[in-house]
Amino acid sequence: MPSSWIGMKVKRVEDPALLTGEGQYIDDISRPGMLHAVAVRSPYAHARILGIDKSAALELPGVVAVVTHDDLPEQMKGQSIPMMVPHPVITADKRPQILCRDEVCFVGDLVAMVLAEDRYVAEDAVALVDVDYEELDCASWVKDAAEAGAPSAHADLATNIAANIDLEYGEIDHAFATASHVITEEIFQHRGSAHSMETRGCISEYDDATGQTRIWVTSQSPHQFKGAFADMMDLVDQDVHVIVPPDVGGGFGPKAVMWPEQFVIPACALIAGRPVKWIEDRREHFMCAYQERDQHWSGELALDAQGKILGLRARLIHDTGAYVPWGVVVPWITCTTVPGPYVIPAYEMRCEVVFTNKVPVTPVRGAGRPQAATFMERMLDIGADRVGIGRDEIRRRNFVQPEQMPYEVGLVFRDGKPVVYDSGDYPQCQAMVLEQANFAEFGQRQRQARSEGRYIGIGTASYIEATGLGPFEGVSVHVQRNGKVIVHTGAAPQGQGHQTMLAQVVADSLGCSFKDITVKVSDTTTIQRGVGTFASRITPNAAPSAHLASNTVREKILKIAAHLLETSVEDLEVEDSRVSVKGVPEHGKTFRDIATFAGAMPGFAVPAGLDAVLEDTVYFAPERATYANGAHCVEVEVDAETGHVSIIKYSTAHDCGTIINPLSVNAQVMGGVAHGIGNALFEWMRYDDHAQPVTMNFGEYLLPTAPEVPNVDQSHMQSPTPLNPLGAKGAGEGGTIPAIAAIVSAIESALEPFGVCIRTVPVTPDALLDLIDAGRQNAGRPDV
Amino acid sequence: MSETWTIKCLINEKPVEREVSVRLTLADFLRHEVGLTGTHLGCEHGVCGACTVLLDGRSARSCLTLAVQVDGMNVTTVEGLGDKTRLSPLQQAFMDEHGLQCGFCTPGMLTTLTELLANNPDPSESEVRLAISGNICRCTGYENIVKATMTAVRYIRDGMPESSEVVD
């Protein structure tokens, strides 16, 4: 047994089932008499519903019902999904309707559910539901939609402005008045969809015997949903039982936020009096699973003669799609993440959050942070070139220094608390990654490559990541009568390995055998409260809960052991689910002995001062978010004839505080980098001028595959946060955040002979060829 | 639409005879009629590779294959590669190298790579990457999948480790 489980490369307890086809995902669950639901969705970006004729669909053998708005239970009629993260800046609060009644606001908006005995029949019947639409003008492109007089995304709104986010601190006018250099740039960023390999799904049944509505759902936040559903239906919590299947095939954001389908399916089960299953298909996932999308940036960076930042002004137009189901979390995070790891004495951000008739925008891995980092890092790259110093050097000259920690930026984060960087050494992280990448000798490599007619380039980017947001996450630890340990949490995993990570913490703090621990996740009847798996928040929230609950249970165990062994607690030690007298290992009691004693005989009294139940539940609530950080460095080769970008070497330095399982942290970084590569080079959810989605499959929307993704050379610092007892920070998104910026910078470096400046991401081969051609023309050297 | 056909095939070495709807996909047949839910559907249009099974040892998309097409064939799914008490060398290597996170693409990766290693017992890393270029994974960034495959090559050649320790 290791001396501490914290920091050990523990193989995952989740894996054996997943490797042998024994995992249990939502579509693997079947209930007796279950019906299959398939959605009828709007084919228009914006239209009025004039009528719905179900008759032809209902005539099809096997079709049981077509559920439309008017069929919904009274409590759901006219309702939208609840606003979980309201904010005073939201001036037009439009959320997805449970089922659309009069108006549809994007292609994919939910109009009806067909229920049938068989999925194939339900699919057939969808085509037979005749919805009479009157098409309305639509808001397709966000920049146009932001203009006064633009077609409105919602018939009852005069403008498409959902919110204005105005943030500022410092003497911004003074900064620009005294600047030696002012960098002015316009940058467009598109960020794509989440695309977990498992789509979304929901199964529900109404239990006549208990009066309970049971809902299985691929949710990243089951307890939040339970509360929302109970509130909508005017039920008490106990009437709603939400279960996340033991296995969920990836999340990356959209499964954290609530969607109409998870409300409609329980309604369908109630209406049909039978269990109902809905499994989203990939086409639907493209069409209506929440995405991130377009941001138009314009920025001005004020630098002194040495390249020190004096101030930054930015304007941002953010496409929020048709609704704000998760408030303005994405643009808010973007606006507060721009300063990143740098000292920016004065900052002014003006952001318009704008409705369009497209899929609602909610967090995708990174949640607006990658765009903030890309903007800031672009400005620094261009600034460095203007000042005439290295792109690495301008960052060094502007980093927040370790001795400035805790560093208060001057902004309020999305958790309502000030942005305070609690710990970390940003210059050191950069130094580490540049060392790994052999940045110092890149010039030689580049000269050599150019002499061979090859264009290679290097880019680096640094970032911070707010992780571990509150309010809390709970863990209960229970030593059962047989001495085995059962751990419950509401922290629904989607592949991160929560079970293994929490078992490590419990083994460490409780002193039990690792193999005696079973971690059960995401069943709202097993733990009262939970928040959800998003914002890289589980390790910094749930692990401290597991630690604190285990400590309490351990104290209970020690007290009973001291009683049984007729000694004092101070003389005892715990190892491998056994308590023994220090120095006399044979004189001891197993957890099983202790639990059996504590369980006691019916009617007997528990000795004074002892606890009969070896259980504790803790909901650790952090004071505020804790900040992880890191730096990436990437070397690329660009084919100037095809615009193809190959990644030659990818290096990362990452600091998420105390690492509990290095296997998991490494894997989170790798996966995050791959997602960032997709965002930098491939992933573009395209629409036409009528807001019709035109990339609707994996042939049209490209995800990175194995040949495009390199191995990642990783190093780690560990700067523990003072904000939780384990010092752990989140690690789920750091791999993604700086990847776009680093890759874009590297491409520019490779194409330096052509004077290429990249202002649009993703960077597609055709766009790159245009830039190369323009560079050739400008240089008057079409032959370069 | 309701026309049916009787098929006979071997699934994971067990003979199966069933009457199936002619439009039923192989994936739905395996998952919902035979109860082998290890085969996963990620895209249902033949790109993501999660549903890959082996038909007479050759990889095929079960989402684009109809059940009636496997009449007379030998079908291998992830359930046929090993079980929890006796993982195949490839499965063991995936566990040892942390080659999976959410596990949804994993069955397709395992079947695809089982085919690769049967045809090429000593692949290079780039051959492994090419072999799985039709299998999308959103979690891992592929690195540990490639590493696991190289480890599996070693396990197959030199034998599996005696005991699989919890701690690496």
The verdict on a CB contact (< 8 Å) between A20 and B128 is: no
The verdict on a CB contact (< 8 Å) between B100 and A9 is: no
Omega prior to A762 cis, within 30 of 0: yes
* Domain B89-158 CATH superfamily: [2Fe-2S]-binding domain (1.10.150.120)
Q: How far apart are CA A439 and CA A631, in angstroms?
A: 13
Q: Which of A8, A496, A705 minimises the CB distance to B101? A: A496
Collect all residues of chain B within an 8 Å Cβ-Cβ radius of residue A124: 1
Indicate whether A634 belongs to any domain. yes
Indicate whether A733 belongs to any domain. yes
pLDDT over threshold 70, residue A73: yes
pLDDT of residue A606: 82
Whether residues A632 and A769 share a domain: the answer is yes
**What CATH number is associated with residue A517?**
3.30.365.10
pLDDT of residue A84: 85
Q: How close is the nearest chain B Cα to the Cα of A577, in Å?
A: 17
The residue from A572, A588, A620 where one domain ends is: A620
Task: Give Dmax over CA atoms of chain B in angstroms.
Answer: 54
Summarize pLDDT for A477-491 with one digit per residue, the tens. 999 999 999 999 998
Q: How close is the nearest chain B Cα to the Cα of A374, in Å?
A: 21
Mean pLDDT of A263-291: 97
The verdict on a CB contact (< 8 Å) between B94 and A120 is: no
Whether residues A727 and A693 share a domain: the answer is yes
Q: How close is the nearest chain A Cα to the Cα of B72, in Å?
A: 24
pLDDT band at A612; cut points 50, 70, 90 = confident
The verdict on a CB contact (< 8 Å) between A670 and B141 is: yes
pLDDT of residue A535: 85
pLDDT band at A598; cut points 50, 70, 90 = confident
Give the closest residue to A464 by CA, choosing from A395, A517, A534.
A395
pLDDT over threshold 90, residue A600: no
Mean pLDDT of A69-81: 97
Collect all residues of chain B within an 8 Å Cβ-Cβ radius of residue A17: 84
Q: How far apart are CA A691 and CA A144, in angstroms?
A: 12
Whether residues A661 and A762 share a domain: the answer is yes
Q: How far apart are CA A658 and CA A4, in angstroms?
A: 13
pTM of the model: 0.97
Indicate whether A144 belongs to any domain. no
Indicate whether A487 belongs to any domain. yes
pLDDT band at A605; cut points 50, 70, 90 = confident
Summarize pLDDT for B9-54 with one digit per residue, the tens. 999 999 999 999 999 999 999 999 999 999 999 999 999 999 999 9
Give the chain B residue nearest A8 (alpha carbons). Answer: B167
Chain centroid to Cα A189, Å, comes to 18
Q: Give the three-state DSSP class for A361.
A: strand
Mean pLDDT of A288-315: 98
Collect all residues of chain A within an 8 Å Cβ-Cβ radius of residue B103: 14-15, 18-19, 23, 247, 249, 495
Q: How close is the nearest chain A Cα to the Cα of B37, in Å?
A: 6
Mean pLDDT of A523-552: 93
Which structure tokens are listed for A456? Answer: 């290679």
pLDDT of residue A1: 52
The verdict on a CB contact (< 8 Å) between B41 and A27 is: yes
The verdict on a CB contact (< 8 Å) between B141 and A8 is: no
pLDDT band at B77; cut points 50, 70, 90 = very high
The verdict on a CB contact (< 8 Å) between B167 and A8 is: yes
Collect all residues of chain B within an 8 Å Cβ-Cβ radius of residue A127: none
Collect all residues of chain A within an 8 Å Cβ-Cβ radius of residue B168: 9-11, 663
The verdict on a CB contact (< 8 Å) between B37 and A671 is: no
- In the A/B pair of chains, how many CB contacts fall below 8 A? 196
The residue from A603, A620, A637 where one domain ends is: A620
Q: Which of A18, A28, A515 minimises the CB distance to B100? A: A18
pLDDT of residue A99: 98
The verdict on a CB contact (< 8 Å) between B104 and A712 is: no
ipTM of the complex: 0.97
The verdict on a CB contact (< 8 Å) between B21 and A497 is: no
Collect all residues of chain B within an 8 Å Cβ-Cβ radius of residue A2: 167
**Total structural domains within chain A:** 2
Q: How far apart are CA A633 and CA A646, in angstroms?
A: 14
Give the chain A residue nearest B81 (alpha carbons). Answer: A20
The verdict on a CB contact (< 8 Å) between A250 and B107 is: no
The verdict on a CB contact (< 8 Å) between B143 and A709 is: yes
Q: How far apart are CA A202 and CA A209, in angstroms?
A: 22
pLDDT of residue A2: 61
Which structure tokens are listed for A97? Answer: 């309707």
DSSP A398: T
Collect all residues of chain B within an 8 Å Cβ-Cβ radius of residue A283: 45
Q: How far apart are CA A536 and CA A538, in angstroms?
A: 6
pLDDT over threshold 70, residue B2: no
Q: How far apart are CA A25 and CA A197, in angstroms?
A: 12
pLDDT of residue B168: 61
DSSP bridge partners of A276? A35, A204
pLDDT band at B129; cut points 50, 70, 90 = very high
Whether residues A537 and A439 share a domain: the answer is no
DSSP A546: H
Q: Where in chain B is the domain with CATH 1.10.150.120?
A: 89-158
Computed over every residue of chain A, the mean pLDDT equals: 96
Whether residues A771 and A692 share a domain: the answer is yes
The verdict on a CB contact (< 8 Å) between A25 and B40 is: yes
pLDDT of residue A603: 75
The verdict on a CB contact (< 8 Å) between B101 and A671 is: yes
Collect all residues of chain A within an 8 Å Cβ-Cβ radius of residue B50: 197
DSSP bridge partners of A645? A638
Whether residues A418 and A495 share a domain: the answer is no
Mean pLDDT of A276-292: 97
Whether residues A653 and A669 share a domain: the answer is yes
C-alpha dihedral over B135, A283, A17, A468, to 10 degrees?
100
Mean pLDDT of A368-374: 98
Between positions 11 and 30 of B, the ones with CB within 8 A of A are 21, 23-24, 28
Residue in B97, B104, B160 to test binding to A, most A beta-carbons within 10 Å: B104
For the domain bounded by B4-80, which CATH number is listed? 3.10.20.30
Please report where in the chains the tokens 């009157």 appear, as a residue: A134
Give the closest residue to A547 by CA, choosing from A425, A726, A423, A304.
A726
Whether residues A631 and A692 share a domain: the answer is yes
Helix pair angle (B143-158, B106-119), 10° resolution? 50
Residue in A20, A287, A533, A679 to test binding to B, most B beta-carbons within 10 Å: A20
Q: Which of B106, B135, B140 minimises the CB distance to A667? A: B140
Q: How far apart are CA A626 and CA A466, in angstroms?
A: 6
Which structure tokens are listed for A557? Answer: 């165990």
Helices (H), A104-239: 119-126, 142-145, 172-177, 222-233
Indicate whether A480 belongs to any domain. yes
User: A104: which residues sit within 8 A by CB, 6+ positions away?
Assistant: A42, A44, A46, A47, A49, A111, A133
DSSP bridge partners of A97? A80
Collect all residues of chain A within an 8 Å Cβ-Cβ radius of residue B25: none
Indicate whether A112 belongs to any domain. no
Q: Does the CB of B136 have a partner CB in chain A at under 8 Å?
A: yes
What's phi and psi for A404, nearest 5 deg?
Answer: -85, -5
Indicate whether A455 belongs to any domain. yes
Q: Does the CB of B60 have a partner CB in chain A at under 8 Å?
A: no
Whether residues A759 and A715 share a domain: the answer is yes
The residue from A620, A642, A677 where one domain ends is: A620
Whether residues A771 and A630 share a domain: the answer is yes
Indicate whether A114 belongs to any domain. no
DSSP string, A294-353: EEEEEEEEEE-TTS-EEEEEEEEEEEEET--TTTTHHHHHHHHHTTTTB--S-EEEEEEE
pLDDT band at A29; cut points 50, 70, 90 = very high
Domain encompassing residue A669: 399-464+626-778
Whether residues A580 and A716 share a domain: the answer is no
Helices (H), A39-160: 55-59, 119-126, 142-145
- Asked whether the beta carbons of A270 and A177 are under 8 A apart, the reply is no
The verdict on a CB contact (< 8 Å) between A706 and B139 is: no
Whether residues A639 and A549 share a domain: the answer is no
Q: How close is the nearest chain B Cα to the Cα of A604, in Å?
A: 41
